[in-house]
Amino acid sequence: MERALGVFARWLPGVWLGMLLCLALIAAPSGFALLPAADAGKLVARLLVQEAYLSLAAGMVLLVHERLLARRSAQSGDSSQFSTGMLFALGAVFCTVLGYFVLQPMMVQARAGQGGWSFIQLHAASAVFFGLKLLLVALMSWRALRPGKPG
């Protein structure tokens, strides 16, 4: 079981990164290029719902895997129970939760004229968290490709 998780955790960051890049560089721009702004916004909002849940799942799987590796390493006296990989996975999950599950409802309120922040401010903050998540997942992908990486 642990071996299967290790193999899965080696390719999962790359698949996750590909999904994020496709959304950011292909799907969202294509929607706005082909559809009226309101319809494109609905399309991208739906894609972001799916991305958020998939990101949570991928982040949690990678976090569990990194935790197993860190615990094994700590038991052998090589390092602590907290690893860089865990930090990256936690950061990506945090960016997903804050960027989508916290800011998205606030964006809906801002469109209705409620709340203290404007839609543009919230959209910019959400884009920053998406970009940071993309960077963290890219780092996880790069680390997964290193020769001799355990797991």
Angstrom distance (rounded) from CA 139 to CA 131: 12
Cβ of 11: how many Cβ atoms within 10 Å?
12
pTM as predicted = 0.88
Letter for the amino acid at 124? A
Give the max Cα distance, the chain: 59
Cα separation of 13 and 91, whole Å? Answer: 14
- The pLDDT tens digits for 64-76 are 988 888 888 778 7
- In this prediction, residue 2 carries a pLDDT of 66
The pLDDT-based confidence of 97 (bands split at 50, 70, 90) is: very high
Q: By the 8 A CB rule, do 65 and 151 touch?
A: yes
